[in-house]
Chains A and B, each alone.
Chain A
Amino acid sequence: TQLLEQSPQFLSIQEGENLTVYCNSSSVFSSLQWYRQEPGEGPVLLVTVVTGGEVKKLKRLTFQFGDARKDSSLHITAAQPGDTGLYLCAGDSGTYKYIFGTGTRLKVLA
């Protein structure tokens, strides 16, 4: 069974601080995605990474895919209250059937 473990599970930080969320697995994924989900809504795609070692930036968010395509990280610089939400990674083993990570609930305090 493929598992994607995210850490930390919960994170509460002050506005302006930096943070990193990790997504780890023992399985190799052909691609990996990061989503943010607000309460009562479906997840919204932030980024897709497909190449081992790939780094993508989205404003204050930096995403990295591990060289072996088994892990990924999301780094947020100067977090803002609007970044609050549930962050989910999801891996595709090649069939578009996505396995979701355990989730990281982020709260940014003003």
Chain B
Amino acid sequence: QAVVTQEPSLTVSPGGTVTLTCASSTGDVTNDHYPYWFQQRPGQAPRTLIFDSTDKHPWTPDRFSGSLLGGKAALTLSGAQSEDEADYYCLLSYSGDWVFGGGTKLTVL
């Protein structure tokens, strides 16, 4: 099974910008992997932020954006707020089998 790799932890200052990445053991991440990004705040269920690399749900704050960058999926947070402190997970499809990354713990400090 493919392995999806994310940074274990990152720190961003309030108002700052940070980019989380998501790499695949099988090669470049492309739109064929239908990349997702999910946010999970402490003690809460996950919520979907980004789908299909770049698309947002109506509830996704504008400060979050998704992209494909250097062969990886990327989630960029511009103008971090304290409420953005959470775990972030990417999810990739491998011909219908879905594999999560291990998650990135984002600290806003």
Q: Answer whether A and B are interacting partners.
A: no
Chain B positions near chain A (C-beta within 8 angstroms) = none
